[in-house]
Structure formats: C-alpha cells, structure tokens
Chains A and B, each alone.
Chain A
Amino acid sequence: MNADEQKAFEEEIYAFVGREVCPPTPAPDDVNMAMIRQWAEVLGETNPAYLDPAWAQQSARGKTIAPPAMMYVWGQEGFAATRGRAPNAQVDLVETFNRYGYTGVLGTNVKQEYVKEVGPGDNVSMQMVIDNISERKTTSRGTGYFFETLATFTDQAGEVVGTQRFKVLKFIPQEQPAAASSDDGGLEVPTRIASPRGQDNGWWWDAVDEGKVLIQRCKSCQTLRHPPRPMCGECQSMEWDSIESSLDGEVLSYTCLRHPAIPGYPKDPICAVIKLGEGTNIVSNLVGCEYEDVQIGMRVKGKIEQVDEKTLLPQFYPA
C-alpha cells in the first residue's frame, strides 16, 4: 500500500468507530437454572450462590443469582453462528480488514464490569458498538490494528447489568519460516550472538572453547591486557603470550537486562564488570544468584559453561 492507499484504508476502517453492531436485543431465553448448571459444571464452579436454591434462600440475597460472567452468554447465537453471521458493523469491519490483507485475527483481551445481579427469570438484553480502533501497530504477530467492541447489558427493566469490552487484533500474518527449507526440517532454536573471531581475538575465544579464560601478556614488559590487541600500549612491543586466569574476581558494576527480551538469551540476564585476581577486568554474566543479591565489591568465581547448543562462555557465581 502506498501512502494514499494507506490513508484511504484507514479512513475506511476508522469510519466504523461508534457504529452500532446491534441495538439492545433481548436474549431468546430468560436467565435459567439449566444453563447456569451447565456453565458451572464445565468451569468447575461450585458456588452455592449460583447452584443451590436451598442454601441461597438462607443467604442475604434470598435466592440464587447467575454468575455475573455469564451476562454475555444469554444472547449467544449458538450453532447457527457457525454457518455465517448476518451482516452487521462488526462483520463488515472484519471483512474490510480481510480485503486489505489483515486476515489474521487474535482476541487479545476481554474486560467485564458488573453493575447489577440477575437471576433465573430475568431477561438480559445486549447492545454493542465498535468503540475504538487503534493506530497501526507492529506486534510480534505482524502489523495490524486493535479494535474494541463495547457491549452493554440491561435487564427487563432497562437497568444496566454490566458492560464488556472485547479487544481483537486484526493483522497481516507474518510469513513463517518454512520448516522444509532447513535441512532437518526442524525448528532452529536461537542461540546467543557469538563474537566474530578475527586475528586479534580468535585465539581467546578458541581457548574458551577448550575451557580456559586467558589473559594476554606482553612478552617484553609483562603487562597484562584485556581485551586483546596487537600491540602493548605500555612498551609498544608486538610480542605476547598469555596466562590462564583462575577466575577469582570482584564485581565492579552490574546490570540486569530486563527489556527487550532477546531470543536465545535467558530472561533478565545479569551482566557484570568483574575485576579478576590477575588485575584485568572482564565483562561476563553473573549466575546462580538474584539481581537483588548482587552488590558491588561482591566476590565471585567463574567457570566455563555451555550456555546453549553452540556457545561456551565464562559464567561467574557468588564465591
């Protein structure tokens, strides 16, 4: 869609806001014990206020009531709905979305508010409007719009029983990576992003793969340096070797990465700058503790661990 088409499309959908999906419509059957019992049985609901007339007679109400959450049940169409619905503003809105490629549908939330109790013998009417439509959103399911209907329920006296807001995401379904395109047909599990391995740093990561954390050392003046680089900043020698760290360390600073979640990483990973006993600093993860328990100055001990299918990393634990 170009900008003009996009504008025309949005004008078309936003014109639905405020339109009535149905006028106040009485339910075909009154609130009744048979339906209440069936609903309660399916949900495992045992509240005697709904189910036991004898108990209810002794209660403050003096009679049973319908579960408030059932207010949307009374006017439901039943089996007929599976053979298509009569046109109304909601059906037209959904078809408009579909026509422009927003064929995905996901009910995202329902919010009910209860005002008045009803019980067997009462009759519930429902009126529904399209209350609002969001701006275009990018979601993990695809780009789309949230629309929300507002249903208002009344009893035979015209008094409000409650309201229900129902939010639906209509979206352009994202292409799912075709399983057949990968060799084994399986889904690939994301792993951590690995460091590229070049001439100046590859040896360090190769050592991690063998279970060791090394620290580069200038052969000329013995100065340790991390991260590795080709020349000693102290004496400019390009000759170097390395020592293995014992991975005893102290936390200099830390943070917990809460948002956004990163595929392939644990939830809320703790990262820290750690001063190693040898004197150089290293960035790594703190594991085996909660964020709240971490303190600057805390002693830690590291070891190389396999953190996912492809990745070996030094990880530090409270010492």
Chain B
Amino acid sequence: MVANVKDKAVIVGVHNTRFTKNSGVSELNLAAQAVKGAIDDAGLKPTDIDGFATFTMDSNDEIEVARAVGTGDMTFWGRSHYGGGAATGSLHQAVMAVSTGMAECVAVFRALNGRSGHRFSDGVSGDIMTADAIHWGWYMPYGLLTPASWVAMFTQRWMHLTGITKDALFEVAHATREYAVNNPNAFFHGRHFDREEYDNARTIADPLQLFDCCQESDGASCVIVTTPERARDLKQPGVAVRGVAQAAAADQEQMTSFYREEFAGIPEMEIAAKNCYEMSGLTPDDIDAAVIYDAFSPIVLWQLEAWNFCGFGESGDFVLDGAMRPDGRLPTNTHGGQLSEAYIHGVNGIVEAARLVRGTSLNQPNKPVNHALVTSGVGIPTGGALLGKLDG
C-alpha cells in the first residue's frame, strides 16, 4: 500500500483551449491560455498559483508559463515522464505537492502543437545517443517506429488469446464518436460514422485501422489542484482526488514490453488500479463513469480489464453490451475521447472526468456521477485517478 492521500487535494478549475489541426500560435501561448482559463474557472487569481505540474515531454518551462500568466512565487514544480503515461502522473505530482503543503494551488497542464508541430506519427529516430535511443534501436531497423506499430503488436496477441474481434474495437470507436458528435470542441463534432466507413478506412498497422487511432492535435488543457480548505471557498463544486497512483511493473519497457512471460496485458495498470481502490476505499461498483486513455481503441478494453470492471478477455462482451454508452454501466470517454475529441495527451480526459463529477459533462447532463475514473496512457509506466465530490 502506498501513502494515502485520499481527499487531501481537490480539482477546482478546469479548462481546454480550442482544439485544432493548426493552432497558428506557440505551445507557450496554448499553455498560458489553458492555465489562465482554469484559474478563471476556479475563481482564483493568477497570483494564487504557486506550483506547476506537467509532462517531461512538454516544451514549456514552468517559469515561462509563470511569467506569461503572471502567477505568484513558485514553490513547486514537478514533471512526469513516459509520454501519455504522465497524464494522471502530472495530477499525481500536484496531489503530492498540495497534500504535503509544498504548494497550495498547482496548475496541471499539457500544451502541444501535436499536428502542426512535432507529430507523433513521425516516429522515433536514431539521431542522438541516449538510453532512450538505444532502446528504440531494437525496433527502428525493422520498421517498428510509431506508436500505432507498437500498440498493434500487443493488440494482435491479445486478440489471439481472448478471441475478441474488431466488433469490440469498433464499439469503442463508435461509442466515443457518438459522444464527440455532441461536443462542439471535438474534431468529429457533428460527424457520425458507421461500420462501413470504419471497415473501409485504411489500415495503419494490422489490425489497427484509421479510426482505431487518435488524432494528432494542437491544443492545451489544464486543471487547478488545491487543498480541501481552500476549495470550499471557491466558486465551483470541488472535485476531490479520492485516489491517485503511478505504476511501472517488472520488465517494463516504454511501449515495447515484449519480453515478459506473457505480454498481452498491462500489469502496471493493475498495480495502479489496486492502489487507487485501496487508497479510496472504493470498488469498481462505486465508479459511475470513466475517462479511459484512448490513443488507440484496443487500449480502452485492456484498461477495463485492468480496473476490474470485467475479467481478462471479457471486455469485448462488456462494451458490446453497451457499457460505454450514455445509459450504460460505465459511460466512458463522454467528451469523445482522444479518438474523437482531441489528443491532448490525456489531460483533456482529466478535464472531462472533473466535469463528470461536477455534473457538467455535455453528454451526462442530468446523471449523478459520484465517482469517475481517469487514466493515463498504457504500454508505458502509467497510472490513474479516482475522483469524487468534495465532502460528498
């Protein structure tokens, strides 16, 4: 059991910038917009912010964001590593800072020109000599260069072992797309699709086709984390962090843990789930909605299994029963997910999870959500968080 920080930190402000394919502005500009928007949402002043948490992959130095926004003296900054594994990792940093008193108001942000600037689909290259480059060196010469290619390798084996088919992958893509249709800030706002369009789309890396993949995006998202005491005086209903955890499991590689005895699984997420459940005292039955990191459709299914909403190999039936849908057992990725809203490295997912608990999710307007799950990217060291109403 890790240290218990249950309800010691609260999300009080959230904001997304507009999501585009070409922002026309710098990543610092996006970060500043997201942070300022979240501060406004919370009813705080810029000078109240005394800490920042983001991704090692983010290009924005905390001090630059601080100068741009005009935030206060800074007593904490912390970054989380491993790409999308840092989504709730950066929240984890903020919760640790706030719950220990190292900072009082921490802005968790991620800002990227992921389409008009550096694109993930450009893959990795061997230009520089680092441990990371040596790691990719075991894959690059063969052509295994992009996130889709790495995830495809896990997916093929997992489908082979479980018998789960593209029907389930389509259901993940379609359920999230239908949510995006109602979300004006989603790339696929107003754009339904069907099985025929899904099946006819080009193959990226077998068995993944175009609509199994998220979209490279420009944009930024931010949430503000503070203490329960401070949260009670602010204008929005507080969203308490009931549990948050990071985890890397034995024999972990970054996206290529192909050397485990069995690699069709994500044991690191099982550890994060176990720790979050223990910390919060909650069980899967207590979770009403979820934002599950969806860089690719199959990874949502693996995570449903890791968080024990169903057993290994059962996630296909779980989603095909309509679990992810608006009135299903676990409405999931209700903003449209990264498959259909935008890929802001999972921090837009924390925004949506907070909105679900507040009752302001566009697609779950009148439904009480007592607890929502939000997760980080998988295949890498990862994590997740369970959110609930402050004092609820």
Contacts and interface: CB of A to CB of B under 8 A. Distances in A.
Interface stretch (B80-88, B133-141, B177-185): B133-141
A281 B261 CA distance: 9
B157 A260 contact: no
Nearest to B139: A283
B154 interface: yes
Interface residues of A, number: 35
A311 B125 CA distance: 15
B157 to A, nearest CB: 4
A311 B140 CA distance: 12
Q: Which 9 A-B pairs have the closest CB atoms?
A: A195-B137, A253-B157, A255-B152, A269-B143, A193-B140, A196-B129, A273-B258, A256-B206, A258-B203
Interface size class of B (residues with CB under 8 A): 35 or more
A307 B263 CA distance: 28
B249 to A, nearest CB: 13
Interface string A256-273: 111110100100010101
B365 interface: no
Q: Taking chain A's interface residues, is the majority helix, strand, or loop, or is none over half, making it mixed?
A: loop
B156 A285 contact: no
B389 to A, nearest CB: 43
B263 A273 contact: yes
B43 interface: no
Contacts of B141: 192-195, 311, 313
B256 A283 contact: yes
A258 B259 CA distance: 24
B134 A253 contact: no
A265 B140 CA distance: 10
A254 interface: yes
Given A195-B138, A200-B134, A257 B144 contact: yes
Nearest to A225: B259
A3 B26 CA distance: 13
A280 B125 CA distance: 25
Interface in B142-194: 142-146, 149, 152-154, 156-157, 160
B281 interface: no
B202 A259 contact: yes
Given A198-B134, A296-B157, A313 B128 contact: no
B156 A196 contact: no
